Amino acid sequence: EIRLEDFPSPQELWTKYCVWKGYTQTQLPIINQEYHDDGTGKQPRYYQLQAINKTIEAISSGKDRVLLVMATGTGKTYT
């Protein structure tokens, strides 16, 4: 029987995720920052969020060149 108390807290899960991804302490402030709000009320689609997150991860790890490849019509400009 598994009790609810046996599950890790959100903070514990985030810590485990950061270890699994290999994030350093210098990367975390960049990765954890809020997304830019352009004032339109639009929200990125799931694949745009993935592209944004991968780009932020690359920049935070010190890469100075990132190529964003998305299909035509998927919102590269918005992303």
Structural domain total, the chain: 1
Structural domain span for residue 11: 1-33+43-79
Amino acid at 72: T
pLDDT band at 2 (very low <50, low <70, confident <90, very high): confident
Cα dihedral 11, 23, 19, 44 sign: positive
Q: Are 48 and 75 in contact (CB under 8 A)?
A: yes
Distance CA 37, CA 44 (A): 10
Q: Is residue 38 domain-resident?
A: no
Cα dihedral 61, 30, 69, 64 sign: negative
Whether the pLDDT of residue 73 is over 90: the answer is yes
Q: Is residue 78 domain-resident?
A: yes
pTM: 0.78
Whether the pLDDT of residue 61 is over 90: the answer is yes
Whether the pLDDT of residue 18 is over 90: the answer is yes
